[in-house]
Structure 1
Amino acid sequence: MAVVSQERPRTGRAAELGLLVIALAIAIGAYVQVSLVLTGELPANLATRAGGLAALAVVAHVLVRWKATYADPVILPIAVALNGIGLTMIYRIDLAAGEAGEAGDADRQLMWTVVGVAAAMATLWLLKDHRILRRYTYTAMLAGLALIALPLVPFLGATINGARIWVFIGPMSFQPGELAKIVLGVFFAGYLVNERDTLALAGPKVLGLQLPRIRDLGPILLAWAASIVILVGERDLGTSLLFFGLFVAMLYVATERLSWVLIGLSLFAGGAVLASQFFGHVQARLDAWLTPFDPAVLDRDPGGSGQLVSGLFGLASGGLTGTGWGQGYPTTVPYANSDFIIAVIGEELGLVGLLAVLILYLILAERGMRAAIGVRDGFGKLFASGMAFVFAFQVFVVVGGITRVIPVTGLTAPFLALGGSSLVANWIIVALLLRISDSARRPAPPVTDGGEGGGGDDVPAPPRPSGNDNETEVVRL
């Protein structure tokens, strides 16, 4: 039986290794430079921190080479570069605050980096095929709602800085909303794959815009109601905006109807305006955004605009090229190592350095969308596009808040900001994108003259899980 010859495509692993070397050089070089500027000598724990980050990158590369041979070669190096830059900036703030010892935030962030990379590699190891997740569509919905509601449980959730988004279990604390965005992404993708034909049915046409039917508005109204509950009950504008934005974006990808985006924006804007009329913490955010330099708003505690104004002055003092690593004044900005780490980066690296960081985020989101375009199943397309959107939208919300484009929301920059929950969740998203991109880039098995798949490819296609997954379905992006 004749076999049609097929040229074996490149896996991209050599390119990934080269990019990892560059990413590590950027992170470790910045770390050394900060220490030389501020202390005049090399860091005492250079081998531990730099060696630990390099070891994590190598282990991750080896596992990707083994378990996801054809995964996108750019995703992992960008994650390592951003994580390394974040560690350097947190270490720099530790030095400024006099907390560079063993209990410094940089050491804790490095520990969470180990946990995050381990979680990502476990995801890549255990999840042989992303389509398996579709079996748990409604289980993911229940898990996501439970995670969102956890901070509201008495004696379990805690209010910090005005927002009730934390859960404490003994000495450990975490933000369940960070994991909720992943499991809700699974639910949204599974639900929209099943219901997209219904949601895309023709409805009335008004001013050239095809509107959905009234009875098809239920899902978006439920998502809107859930986001308003988060906004009001947990006082968390960022998570509320992120979840609702994720659903609307995936709804648009599934149906290609602009009307869903317009309806979603109108619903959220209307809900936010109503909330501002009845809830003081929402109005305080709007006041800090609209009139940050008003003395009454600037000195208000809590809910004042002092943090925002300090961040704006930091960005302004950075100018085009920045003050240089270790030569800024990050301690003048409250929560500089978490909520406002972008402002500190803008001060010390300037507009050029900040744009370079934003370009890394842009490439990461673009690679996620490329995986979504290339993968063959509808669930994978929607899920990958949703996870890529999470990165892009979260960065927009963070940078938009710091630069006064939109109100400050409390979200943190992925990989850069201090926080174990965010770091672990974002590394898991990286693993999921690697798995989906491996499926998208993996060559099909050789085809015989009888049209049957052959067995000569030593890197077989991913297994097809049982269930009702229609492999011919297409969701256009």
Structure 2
Amino acid sequence: MIQTRLRQISLLLFAIVIGFVAFFQMFERTTGGFPTNYAISLGIVTALYLVLWALTIRFQPYASQSIMPCVLLLNAIGTMMIARIDHAKDTAVGFRQLLWAAAALVICGALIVALQDYRILRRFSYVSMVVGLILLLSPMIPGLGIDINGASVWIKIPFTNSTVQPAEFAKLFLAFFFAAYLFDHRDQLAVGGKKFLGIQLPRIKDLGPIIIIWGVSMGVLIIQHDLGTSLMFFAMFVAMLYVSTGRKSWIVIGLLAFAGGAVAASSIFSHVGARVDAWLHPFDNTLYNQEFGGSYQIVNGLFGLASGGLAGTGLGQGHPDITPFANSDYIYASVGEELGLAGILAVLMLYLIIIASGFITAMKIKDGFGKLLASGLVFTMAFQVFTVVGGITLVIPLTGLTMPYMAAGGSSLIANYVLAALLVVISNAANKPEPSTDLSETFQYEALAALRDHELKERGVR
């Protein structure tokens, strides 16, 4: 056990050392010294990570220990790059990001201690649905929601200049509801109907839930002008629906439904069509110089990735600040410019470790609700990573989603830290050893022997 704990803490310490070296090298090349405020903030965040590890060992002793070190390293790389862009633009987003990380770690620690049994979340399934929908639709409330860059997905905190993206928290509450609902109705949804092209379609009367979620997703796309959030929620529901029933027809129906809605929206609504045009013709002069909805950001991100080459320009030696929203939407391109192809492949590998740990947890756990919740949460993260990287590299149109743990923004950072903490809690239940089979057989044998002795006494044999 001691050797296992030493290996676990060594992963965390290794991630801490790499993060510190990255910050040190970047600051030495840009400012010529390590700023005091960053040194103090990094020390606090490091201490909180060590406290979180100790709490996990104490209250979730069988939890996966590979998730949080990867989260730490991704967060460190992202915050380091944000601080590097701050130096070029004379902003202070990176320091605020460290403060958000400290707050997220405190919340994670509270969850690790308080949430001993994740199954309690199933009791509040419909409450989670209501809270999730309120959060999702809150930017549409007049006077509360604000429009930034054509998307109405933020709300302003009263009496401050800060904003919150409630959809990041809505995905957690809706994941709780989806897992509970699909667990309770999996038998009805798994019943097949007629076959078409070798695929057994579901019954017509079972299409209600997916039609409702599709309608909500299209509403978000049309009213809030947010393709990414709309696609994320619908994809999460379809993925969890497939896990609960095992029927590929749900995936086919989901893909066709959203593709049809997106194509219709791109032809009807200009903001959706502009993103598709920028994706199809990014190097067109007209689109490149277009003030709103053009391809300037896409092309500059591609140039940044190309200039990074295999090993990158070096920390502090590139020009990632040229690309608009380089510290949020395009943080992946910024990392690719200064760390190169090797750096962004390492970043993807870290995400892959987290995602693999989540899916392994979903496969190992026997509780159906936990299986659906773990798979839904980890799929959401995987989907976000795919859409962001795909949009930056022109595989798919830009969606407006952010890279988990790396992009600037307190809402996204805290929500994804909570997601990681939930995966840790569920993995503890999945890895917990079962009672010894030999012991249970001994108890069973003793009970049968006692029962036989009692029967013999009643017959007068003894």
Please state which band the TM-score falls in when normalised by the shorter chain. over 0.9
Segments of 5+ residues of structure 2 without an aligned counterpart are 446-462
**Contact 1:248–1:261 under 8 Å retained in 2:** yes
Partner residue, 2:443: 450
* Alignment correspondent of 1:364: 354
Partner of 1:341: 331
1:352 is matched by which residue type in structure 2?
A
**TM-score using structure 2 length:** 0.93
1:111 to 84, 99, 106: 99
2:62 and 2:428 in contact (8 A); partners too: yes
Say whether 1:191 aligns with 2:181: yes
Provide the residue aligned with 1:79 in structure 2: 71
Cα displacement string for residues 233-254 of structure 1 (whole angstroms, at most 9, x for unaligned residues): 1000110010001001111111
CA drift of 1:305 comes to: 1.1
Are 1:32 and 1:42, in contact at CA under 8 Å, matched by a contact in 2? yes
Sort the Cα spacing of 1:301 and 1:64 in 2 relative to 1 into closer, same or farther, 3 A: same
- Following the alignment from structure 1 to structure 2, what is the Cα–Cα distance between the partners of residues 78 and 213? 42
Residue equivalent to 2:60: 68
Q: Which AA in structure 2 matches 1:450?
A: F
Counterparts in 2 of 1:383-402, with a 5 A limit? 383-402=373-392
SS of the aligned residue for 1:321 comes to coil
CA distance in 1: counterparts of 2:283 and 2:219, whole angstroms = 31
Paired letter, 1:223: I
Amino acid at match of 1:72: S
Q: Determine helix, strand or coil for the equivalent of 1:337.
A: coil
Whether the aligned pair in 2 keeps the contact of 1:365 and 1:389 (CA below 8 Å) is: yes
Cα deviation, 1:197-251, whole Å, max 9, x if unaligned, reads: 1111121111211111111111111111111000011000110010001001111
Q: Secondary structure, in 3 states, of the residue corresponding to 1:302?
A: coil
1:128 aligns with 2:116: yes
2:38–2:95 Cα contact (<8 Å) kept: no
Q: 1:71 touches 1:434 (CA, 8 Å); kept in 2?
A: yes
Aligned residue for 1:456? none
> Aligned with 1:112: secondary structure?
helix
Determine which of 119, 122, 142 is the counterpart of 1:154: 142
**Alpha-carbon deviation of 1:10?**
8.3
- State the alpha-carbon separation in 1 of the partners of residues 147 and 89 from structure 2: 25
Residue 42 of structure 1, CA deviation: 3.3
Q: Which runs of 4+ in 1 moved over 2 A?
A: 9-16, 39-47, 444-448
Deviations 1:362-411 (A, max 9, x none): 11011011111111200000000011111111000000000011111111
1:91 aligns with 2:83: yes
Deviation of 1:46 after TM superposition, in Å, equals: 4.9
Tell me how far 1:65 sits from its aligned partner.
1.0
Q: CA deviation at 1:13?
A: 3.6
Tell me which residue corresponds to 2:153: 165
1:203 corresponds to 2:193: yes
Matched, 1:326 2:295: no
Whether the 8 Å contact between 2:42 and 2:98 is mirrored in structure 1 is no
Gapped runs of 5+ residues in structure 1?
1-8, 453-477
Q: Deviations over 1:282-337 (max 9, x none)?
A: 11111111111112211222111111111010001111111111111011100100
| 1:40, distance to aligned residue in structure 2 (A) | 2.8
CA contact (8 A) 1:11 1:70 kept: no
Q: For the residues of structure 1 that align with 2:243 and 2:404, how far apart are their CA atoms?
A: 23
Amino acid at match of 2:369: F
1:160 CA drift (Å):
0.5
* Structure 2 CA distance for aligned equivalents of residues 40 and 126 of structure 1: 44
In the alignment, what sits opposite 2:399? 409
The alpha-carbon deviation at position 86 of structure 1 amounts to 1.2
Match of 1:306 in 2: 296
Q: CA deviation at 1:128?
A: 1.5
Question: CA contact under 8 A between 1:16 and 1:77: conserved in structure 2?
Answer: no
Distance of 2:164 and 2:42 partners within structure 1 = 26
In the TM superposition, residue 413 of structure 1 has moved relative to its aligned partner by 0.3
More helix by share: 2
- List per-residue Cα deviations over 1:441-463 (Å, max 9, x = no partner): 111244341259xxxxxxxxxxx
* Structure 1 residue 50 displacement after superposition: 2.7
> Which one of 277, 280, 283 corresponds to residue 273 of structure 2?
283
Which structure's CA Rg is the greater one? Answer: 2
What CA distance in whole angstroms lies between the structure 2 residues aligned with 1:286 and 1:16?
A: 45
Task: Tell me the C-alpha RMSD between the 2 structures.
Answer: 1.4
Where do 1:209-228 residues align within 5 Å?
Answer: 209-228=199-218
Q: How does 1:291-302 map to 2 (within 5 A)?
A: 291-302=281-292
Aligned to 1:430: 420
SS state at 2:352 partner: helix
Give the secondary-structure state (helix, strand or coil) at the position aligned to 1:135. Answer: helix
Say if 2:41 and 2:99, in contact at 8 Å, map to a contact too.
no
Aligned to 1:241: 231
Q: Which moved more, 1:374-383 or 1:40-49?
A: 40-49
Which secondary structure does the structure 2 equivalent of 1:119 belong to? helix
Structure-2 separation of matches of 1:85 and 1:45: 18
CA distance in 1, matches of 2:5, 2:146: 44
Find the counterpart in structure 1 of residue 409 from structure 2. Answer: 419
Residue of 35, 39, 53 corresponding to 2:31: 39
The residue that corresponds to 2:305 in the other structure is: 315
Letter in 2 for 1:148: L
Q: Is the 8 A contact 2:169 2:415 kept in 1?
A: yes
Q: Deviations for 1:344-367, whole angstroms, at most 9, x for unmatched residues?
A: 001111111100000100110110
1:16 matches 2:14: no
| Paired residues of 1:16 and 1:76 also in contact (CA < 8 A) | no
> C-alpha deviations, 1:90-133, integer Å up to 9, x for none?
1111111233xxxx111100110011111111122221201111
SS of aligned partner of 1:385: helix
* Distance in 2, Cα, partners of 1:388 & 1:10: 30
Aligned-partner Cα distance in 2 for 1:387–1:200: 21
Query: Aligned residues: percent identity?
Result: 51
Q: TM-score, normalised by structure 1?
A: 0.90
Q: SS where residue 423 of structure 2 aligns?
A: helix
Q: Which amino acid aligns with 1:90?
A: I
Alpha-carbon separation, structure 2, partners of 1:333 and 1:108:
21
